[in-house]
Amino acid sequence: MRPPELLALCNAIESTSMSLFIQKNSWVVPLVQIIHIFAIAAILISSLTIYSSFLRLNQSQLGVHTIAHQFKTYLYLSLIILLLSGSVLIIGEPARSLANDAFQIKMVFLLIALLCNFYLFKQLKNSQEISRALSLFAVAMWLGVVFSGRWIAYV
């Protein structure tokens, strides 16, 4: 059951000129989905590289600080691309996303993953020991984002 306010919001977004443009041009959603998928892949690669250095799984000669600093840029750039592409997808098909349980679960996973990232990077900046358990949990949250994102199409 969807709250009527959420459905009213979806209807309001769906009637905007931007949404109508996206709906009318059948190439927009597939193109933006491709960009969105590439950005999530970049986040996964960056996150797994950073967290593997936190967990001491990679055998790189570079230190944890260097690896985290290098890949943090890709991570945040990919997040910006995800925000923009996700916004286009929501505007184009608001009911498919906003009113979808899988989308809402994806957003919870995303929020938790981001909070883990910010906390772990803060620990690293303050030269504190990085929590291995929290690193593994953050990886699990990013994987939750991916799997729930894929599930949107089936719910």
pTM for this predicted structure: 0.86
Window from 54-58, 85-89, 124-128 with minimum mean pLDDT: 54-58
The full set of domain ranges for the chain reads 26-154
The larger pLDDT score, comparing residue 113 to residue 69, is at 113
State the Cα–Cα distance between residues 50 and 135, nearest whole angstrom. 9
Tokens of 82: 């995800």
* pLDDT number for residue 49: 86
Among 7, 40, 32, 28, residue whose Cα is nearest residue 149: 40
* pLDDT number for residue 58: 63
* pLDDT number for residue 50: 85
What is the residue whose two structure tokens read 């020991």?
129
| pLDDT tens-digit map of 5-61 | 999 999 999 999 999 999 999 999 999 999 999 999 999 999 888 888 877 766 666
